[in-house]
Structure 1
Amino acid sequence: MKVGIDQIGYFTPNKYVDMVDLAHARNQDPNKFLIGIGQSKMSVADATQDAVSMGINATLRYLNKINKSKVGLLIFGTESSVDQSKSGSLFVKSALKLDPSVRAFEVKEACFGLTAGLMIAQDFVRLHPDQTAIVIGSDIARYGLKTAGEVTQGAGSVSLLISSNPRILELNEGHSAYSEDINDFWRPNNSKLAKVDGKYSTQVYLDFFKHTFNDYKEQKNLETKDFAAIVYHLPFTKMGLKANRIAIEGEDEETNARLMDSFTAAKELNANVGNIYTGSLYLSLLSLLENGDLKAGDLTGLFSYGSGAMAEFYSANVVEGYEKQIDKAGDEALLAKRKKLSVDEYERIFSEALEDPKNDVELVSDEDSGKYYFAGIKDDIRQYQAK
C-alpha cells in the first residue's frame, strides 16, 4: 500500500520587507543578503498572525478538496507555540470544524517538527488506510532587529494531508536519522527571540546532511545520480546550496546540471518568504513541484534538519498528475498581494508583535476576508476568528 502526501497548502502573512531596503538600512551591500544569504524578501507577521492562525489558513487552502470525515489525526509541529500546555492543534481543529474523534497534539524539535509529525502520520495511515492525517508546520522566525540573524527571519505555515494512494508524492519506506545534543540554536522560555551560533549551526547542518545522505544511499543501494531532485530545509537558501554542492561533488555533468536546476526551482518560494522553521523543507518541496521539471515516478530526496540537533533523510516518488493537486496560481497570488513595508514600518510591526496584548483588548486584522487571525486574549484565553 502506498502512503504519502495527497495535498499541500501554504500560507504567509500579507506583509514583507525587501532585502535591498533592509541592507541599505543596515549599511550593508545588498549582495550580501541577495547572494551571500540568498534571500530576496522576508514575510513579516504582525500582532494578529501567530503559528495557530497561519496553520489554520494553510490548511484552508485545500480543505474544500478533501473528505473531512476521513481525517483521524491532526499533528501541529512548531517551535513558536502559543501555550505551554494546550496544543495548537486543538485551536486548529476547532476552526476547521473537524470531528471530536480526531486525535490532536503538538510536537517540537526545532525545525524538525513537521517531519516528525509526517513520520507519525505515515505510520498512522499505514495502520488505518481508510483514514487521513493532517500535519502542519507553522512558525515565526525571530532573531531580533539589527542582529546577525535578522536577514534569516520570516513567517509562514505549510499543511500536508497524508493518505493512502496519495496524489502528489508516495513516501518510500525507510530513512536515515542522526541526532546529537548540541547548542547551535535555541530559544529559552523567557525569550521570544531565538539564540543562534550561525557559523556553528551551518557546519552542523552540513555535517548532518553528509551523514544522513550517505547512510541513506548505502541503506537503499542508491547513487546520487538516481535522484531526480533533492530538497533541503532552507533557513536561508544559501545553506541549502552548500548542501547541494556537497551532494553533487564528483558527479557526472548531467547529474550536476539536473540537481542544480532542481535546487534553483526549489528555492524560489523560500527566497521570497524567508525562514519558516518547521515548514521550510516543505515550502521548498512545494516550490520544486511548482517550478521544477518533474515527471511521474521521479525519485526525490528530502533532507530535514532541526537545530539542537536532529536530522533525517528520506525519499519519495512523484505521482502522475500531481500538477492537478497543487495551486500554483493561488500561491503566486498570495505572494503578489503582500504589502511592501518600509524598514521603519517593519521595525514597528516587529516590535509590536513581541508584546502580548492585554486581556480584553480585541485585535483587528487587515488580512483578506476569510483569513483567520489572532483576535486577542479574553479572560486569559486566546481568541481566533475569521476576517
Structure 2
Amino acid sequence: MKIGIDKIGFYTPHLYVDMNKLADARKVEPEKFIIGIGQEKMSVPPITQDAVTMAANAALEILEESDREKIDYVIFATESGIDHSKAAAIYVHRLLGINPNARSIEVKEACYGATAAIHIAKGHIALNPESKVLVLGSDISRYGLNTSGEVTQGAGAVAILMSANPRIIAIEDPSAYHTEDVMDFWRPLYSNVAFVQGKYSVELYISFFQNVWEQYKKKTGLELKDFESFCFHLPYTRLGLKALKTVIDEGAEEEQERLLANFELSRSYNKVVGNIYTGSLYLSLLSLLELNTDIKAGARIGLFSYGSGAVGEFFSGIVEPDYRDFLYVERHGKLLSSRREVCISEYEEIFQETSLADISGKKFPIEKDPAVICLAGVKDHMREYVYKCNEI
C-alpha cells in the first residue's frame, strides 16, 4: 500500500522585509545576505498571527469537507508553541471543524518535528488505511534585532494531508536517521529568542547529511543517479547548497546539472519567506513541485531533514501521476505576490510588539490582517482566535 502526501499547502503572513534594505540598515554589504546567505525577503508576522493561526490558514486552503470527516489524527510540529501544556493541534482542530473523533497532539524536535510527524502519520495509516492525518509544521523564527541570526528569521506554515494512495508523493521505505546530543541551536523556556552557535551548527548540518546519506545508500543500494532532485531543510538557502556540493561529485555531469538546477527551483519560495523551522523542508519540496513543470511521474525526490540538538534523517518519495492537478500553484503565487513590504522601522516596531511576554487583556487589530484566521486578542490568559465572518 502506498502512503504519502495527498495534499500540501502553505501560508505566510502578508508582510515582509527586503533583505537589501535590511543589509543597508545593518551596514552590511547586501551581497552577504542575498548571495552569501541566499535570502531575498523575510516574512514578518504581525501580532495577529502566531503558530496556530498560520497552521490553520495553511490547512484551510487544502481541506474539503470529506477530508475533515476522515481526518482522525492532527499532528502539529512546532518550536513556536503557545502553551507548555495544551497542544496547538487542538486549536486548529476546532478552527477547521475537523471530525471530533480524532487524536490531536503536538510534537517537538527543533526543525525535524514535521518529519517526525510524517512518519507517525505513515505508521498510523498503515494500520488504519481509511484514515487521513493532518500534519502541520508552523513556526516563527526569531533571533533578535541586530543579531547574527536576524537575516535567517521568517514565519510561515506548511499543511500536509497524509493518506493511503496519495495523489502527490508516495513516501518510500527505508529511511536513514541519526541522533546526537549537541548544543548548536536551542531556546530555553525563559527566552523568546533562540540561541545559536552558527558555525558549529553549519558543520553539524553538513556532517549529519553526509552520515544519513551514506546510511541510506547502504540500506537501499540507490545512488545519486537515481534521484531527480534533493530537497533540504533550509534555515537559509545557501546552506542546502553547501550540503549538496559535498556529494555532487558522485554523479555524472548530466546528473550534477539536473540536481543543481532543481535545487535552485526548490529554494525559490524559501528565499522570499525565510526560515520557517519545521515547515522549511516541505516549503522547499512545494517550491520544487510547483515551479518545475517537467518532473514526471515516477521521479524520486530525496529529502534531508535536520533538527538542531540534533536529529537528522534522509528519506525519499516517488512523484505520483497527475500530481500537478492537486497543487495550488496560482493560489500560492498570489499569496507571495500580494504581500506588503514594510520599512525597517516598521519591522522593528512589529518585532518589539510581538516580543512582549505578557499580552493578556489586549485586543489586536485583525481588520489590518487579510488572513481568514487571526488572533484577535488574549482574555483571562486565553487566546481568542477568530475565523472572519464566523467567529469561533
Judge same fold: TM > 0.5, yes or no: yes
Determine helix, strand or coil for the equivalent of 1:281: helix
**Which whole-Å CA distance do the structure 1 matches of 2:56 and 2:165 have between them?**
25
CA offsets per residue over residues 232-286 of structure 1, 9 Å max, x none? Answer: 0000000000011112124210110010011011000000000000000000000
Determine helix, strand or coil for the equivalent of 1:31: helix
1:71 aligns with 2:74: no
**Which whole-Å CA distance do the structure 1 matches of 2:361 and 2:186 have between them?**
32
> Which letter maps to 1:364?
P
**Which whole-Å CA distance do the structure 1 matches of 2:339 and 2:125 have between them?**
36
In structure 2, do the counterparts of structure 1 residues 347 and 211 end up closer, same or farther at CA, with 3 Å as the change threshold?
same
**Which whole-Å CA distance do the structure 1 matches of 2:382 and 2:126 have between them?**
37
- 2:174–2:315 Cα contact (<8 Å) kept: yes
1:105 aligns with 2:105: yes
Please, what TM-score do these two structures have when normalized by structure 2? 0.97
Deviation at 1:65, TM superposition (A): 7.1
**Which whole-Å CA distance do the structure 2 matches of 1:2 and 1:250 have between them?**
30
Deviation at 1:67, TM superposition (A): 2.6
Q: Which runs of 5+ in 2 are unaligned?
A: none
> Which letter maps to 1:386?
Y
Q: Which runs of 5+ in 1 are unaligned?
A: none
Matches within 5 A, 1:53-72: 53-64=53-64, 66-72=66-72
Determine helix, strand or coil for the equivalent of 1:121: helix
Deviation at 1:361, TM superposition (A): 2.0
1:339 aligns with 2:340: yes
Deviation at 1:214, TM superposition (A): 1.2
Please, what TM-score do these two structures have when normalized by structure 1? 0.98
State the partner residue of 2:232.
Answer: 232
- 1:187–1:195 Cα contact (<8 Å) kept: yes
**Which whole-Å CA distance do the structure 2 matches of 1:95 and 1:203 have between them?**
41
1:244 aligns with 2:244: yes
State the partner residue of 1:377.
Answer: 378
Determine helix, strand or coil for the equivalent of 1:136: strand
Determine helix, strand or coil for the equivalent of 2:377: strand
State the partner residue of 1:256.
Answer: 256
Matches within 5 A, 1:183-262: 183-262=183-262
State the partner residue of 1:367.
Answer: 369
- Percent sequence identity over aligned pairs: 47
> Which letter maps to 1:321?
D
CA offsets per residue over residues 169-194 of structure 1, 9 Å max, x none? Answer: 01112100101000000001011100
> What is the number of residues matched between the two proteins?
386
**Which whole-Å CA distance do the structure 1 matches of 2:159 and 2:66 have between them?**
13
**Which whole-Å CA distance do the structure 2 matches of 1:328 and 1:352 have between them?**
33
- 1:89–1:105 Cα contact (<8 Å) kept: yes
**Which whole-Å CA distance do the structure 2 matches of 1:248 and 1:224 have between them?**
8
**Which whole-Å CA distance do the structure 2 matches of 1:165 and 1:359 have between them?**
45
State the partner residue of 1:268.
Answer: 268
1:321 aligns with 2:326: no
Deviation at 1:357, TM superposition (A): 5.3
State the partner residue of 1:305.
Answer: 306
> Which letter maps to 2:372?
K
1:82 aligns with 2:59: no
Deviation at 1:356, TM superposition (A): 4.1
**Which whole-Å CA distance do the structure 2 matches of 1:228 and 1:251 have between them?**
12
Matches within 5 A, 1:130-145: 130-145=130-145
Determine helix, strand or coil for the equivalent of 2:212: helix
Deviation at 1:9, TM superposition (A): 0.9
Determine helix, strand or coil for the equivalent of 1:67: helix
In structure 2, do the counterparts of structure 1 residues 356 and 175 end up closer, same or farther at CA, with 3 Å as the change threshold?
same
Deviation at 1:47, TM superposition (A): 1.0
> Which letter maps to 1:279?
G
State the partner residue of 1:32.
Answer: 32
State the partner residue of 2:96.
Answer: 96
CA offsets per residue over residues 202-233 of structure 1, 9 Å max, x none? Answer: 00000000000111011000111111111000
- 1:111–1:279 Cα contact (<8 Å) kept: yes
1:354 aligns with 2:355: yes
Determine helix, strand or coil for the equivalent of 2:362: coil
> Which letter maps to 2:187?
R
**Which whole-Å CA distance do the structure 1 matches of 2:135 and 2:189 have between them?**
25
State the partner residue of 2:14.
Answer: 14
**Which whole-Å CA distance do the structure 1 matches of 2:118 and 2:77 have between them?**
9
- 1:137–1:279 Cα contact (<8 Å) kept: yes
- 1:132–1:162 Cα contact (<8 Å) kept: yes
**Which whole-Å CA distance do the structure 2 matches of 1:258 and 1:215 have between them?**
23
**Which whole-Å CA distance do the structure 2 matches of 1:326 and 1:228 have between them?**
19
**Which whole-Å CA distance do the structure 2 matches of 1:359 and 1:145 have between them?**
24
CA offsets per residue over residues 27-48 of structure 1, 9 Å max, x none? Answer: 1110000000000000000111
- 1:174–1:314 Cα contact (<8 Å) kept: yes
Deviation at 1:288, TM superposition (A): 0.5
Deviation at 1:138, TM superposition (A): 0.2
In structure 2, do the counterparts of structure 1 residues 218 and 358 end up closer, same or farther at CA, with 3 Å as the change threshold?
closer
Determine helix, strand or coil for the equivalent of 2:246: helix
**Which whole-Å CA distance do the structure 1 matches of 2:359 and 2:270 have between them?**
34
**Which whole-Å CA distance do the structure 2 matches of 1:224 and 1:65 have between them?**
41
Structure 1 vs Structure 2 CA RMSD: 1.0
Determine helix, strand or coil for the equivalent of 1:74: strand
**Which whole-Å CA distance do the structure 2 matches of 1:83 and 1:343 have between them?**
30
